[in-house]
Copies of this chain bind each other. A is one copy, B any other.
Amino acid sequence: MSDDRRGGNSPLPFNKVKIEDNFWGPRIRTNAKQTIPTQFKQLEDTGRLAAFKLEWKPGMEPVPHIFWDSDVAKWIEAAAYTISVQSDASIEAMMNKTVDLLVSSQQPDGYINSHYTVVEPENRWTNLRDCHELYCAGHLMEAAVAHYRATGKRTLLDAMCKYADYIDSVFGVEPGKKRGYCGHEEIELALVKLYEVTGNDRYLKLSEYFIEERGYLPHYFDQEAIARGEKADEYWAKTYAYCQADVPVREQTTIAGHAVRAMYFYSGAADLAGINNDSGLFSVLESLLDNLTTKRMYLTGGIGPSASNEGFTTDFDLPNETAYAETCAAIGLILWSHRMLRFDLDSHYADVMERALYNGSLSGISLDGTRYFYENPLASSGSHHRQKWFDCACCPPNITRMIASLGSYVYFYNDTDAIVNLYVQGEGQLEIGGRHITLKQETNYPWDGNVAITVQVDQSSTFALKLRIPGWSDGVEVSLNGEPLEAADVEKGYLKINREWRNGDKVELNFPMLVKRIYANPNVKQDSGMVAMQRGPIVYCLEGVDNSIQPHKILLPDDAEFEAVFEPDLLGGVVTIIADALCLDDQGWDGVLYNDTPPAARQCTIKAIPYYAWDNREPGWMSVWLRNG
């Protein structure tokens, strides 16, 4: 295994991070105990596992689908991450069974694909644009890396290296190779992982080829369509911007097309920019992320408003009730912003990551870990509910692997710095300059903004402790061993304390955590005149089960008083917000549809819960934005 040669900082792997809080801890345990087993059963019941037996014959149902392999792969990843942190024989048995099946399906040339191998072997690599072949390969590579790291076993890793070698023999600029790339990006970031774990430059170069080749003319998807006997200009998605292939990556300026594809692509590109120290590519990505986060992102970190392309539309178009905001897209945004943060330690990347993590991705799974949102709207009239599974089941195993690997987002380190990105009670065990250092976090985050970090070292060590100041915070009080620290350095939103640390040194942070009224840019027409509530990183919403007045009849006045109340027995323990509001009265409106005097308003009390926790009780309406009045 090679050293990670990327520039910037290294994430502390999640198996070096202990999570001992009341927020993520229970989610991770539920993930292991409920989510992973029930998803395994879905993989079995729907035929996704059996598909790897390659026993399908024409006429049989179900027909292995082109993207089934990716669902299985993400589940393996989640299982591997889970047993890395906490051994679990049952999960390991399911995982090994799955890995064996998968490996058994490999063809002599290295190819693995449960659809193409049996359903249409003659069409292998004939429709990269639509058919997810390399996308599935990418997810299988990620699974292989996770499985190897968790178990030390090379079974799947070797199989996937063989597959990657085969792919490398098929695609590239060299004569005789196809100059293709996948319509659904994913393999780019996966090949980087394969490179990191094997040290084999060939995989990095293949990733680089896939990233840089994309969008050049003559367009591969045109040529491929013509070869299939189709007309190049009859692409169902109308534009190659749908798959970020309208122009080469370095010419892209606007976040466009299918949101998940975009996120995976730019995550892979960020890896490449980091490893190659390619500031040109990085600044392209900076601009794209800036376009996304300043013009096209929901308050929840959800992205991609439109169902029709599962993706982006125009600047400031953020409809609430019809928001697509796929769970996978919010997860993709976490993956991308995490990589940007790694290369450029600027807290605004961490703010994006934190926003998507605590809100628009976490909403994707029920508190009991068995039901999922594919779409994460910011308002519902009462008909949107989590489901146990989907025919297109990308989201469930994606949120599962995200929760299982949560620890890896908490800390970065490099030769001189220990960096805290997220505040999560527990421990991180770092090695800086050959010294073992444990950072012990005590906090009730995200419910309050007090964080105590104790440094545990065998012997005094000099390093810089960099502590993120969240963007939602208006300021921070810092003390070191009980003494206020007034003149601390702040670099790009990270508080820097560079000193010789002794065992037991304790830094205490206090980020005042008030309920904030949030307003959208006035160009967002759907939020015009609206206000939302946020407290710390948590975006709030109102649900019908707590509020008898429908949201369109509620006005939140400018001077409304908020009360934040921790309710230990509600929704796994959450801080709710109680507020004075005005409610429109329909008295006098019986039988009147239009009138020249406005409806009267009366005092009422509203109750808001964290957005991520909605639709875990009685079904009903939900709204993040309320009228400001």
Contacts and interface: CB of A to CB of B under 8 A. Distances in A.
Interface of A: 290, 293-295, 297, 299, 516-526, 528-529, 531, 550-553, 555, 584-586, 589, 591-599, 627-629
Given A518-B595, A521-B594, 12 more contacts: A293-B593, A299-B594, A517-B596, A519-B594, A519-B595, A519-B596, A519-B597, A523-B553, A523-B589, A525-B551, A526-B552, A528-B584
Contact of A599 (B518, B519, B552, B591): B519
Chain B CB within 10 A, most for which of A294, A528, A584, A591 = A528
Contacts of A598: 517, 519, 531, 628
A523 B553 CA distance: 7
B593 A521 contact: yes
B290 A591 contact: yes
Contacts of A628: 598
Chain B CB within 10 A, most for which of A524, A593, A596 = A593
Given A522-B599, A584-B522, A528 B516 contact: no
B520 A594 contact: yes
Given A529-B529, A627-B528, A629-B529, A520 B552 contact: no
B521 A589 contact: yes
Chain B CB within 10 A, most for which of A523, A551, A553, A585 = A523
Nearest to A528: B552
A552 B316 CA distance: 12
B627 A297 contact: no
A553 B595 CA distance: 24
Given A528-B584, A599-B522, A593 B552 contact: no
Contacts of A531: 598
A624 to B, nearest CB: 11
A468 B12 CA distance: 80
Contacts of A521: 586, 589, 592-595, 599
Contacts of A294: 591-593
Nearest to A472: B596
A596 B299 CA distance: 12
Contacts of A555: 529
A458 to B, nearest CB: 44
A320 to B, nearest CB: 12
A589 B553 contact: no
Contact of A522 (B518, B522, B528, B586): B586
A449 to B, nearest CB: 16
7 contacts: A297-B593, A517-B598, A518-B595, A519-B598, A521-B594, A522-B553, A525-B550
Chain B CB within 10 A, most for which of A293, A521, A594 = A594
Nearest to A558: B598
A594 B518 contact: yes
A93 to B, nearest CB: 46
A519 B599 CA distance: 8
A522 B277 CA distance: 58
A215 B589 CA distance: 33
A553 B591 CA distance: 32
Closest 5 CB pairs of A and B: A525-B552, A528-B552, A522-B584, A522-B599, A519-B598
A586 B523 contact: yes
Nearest to A599: B522
Contacts of A550: 523, 525
Contacts of A592: 294, 521
Given A584-B522, A599-B519, A627 B529 contact: yes
A281 to B, nearest CB: 22
A553 B522 CA distance: 6
A524 B593 CA distance: 9
A237 to B, nearest CB: 20
Contacts of A524: 593
Given A529-B529, A596-B516, A585 B522 contact: yes
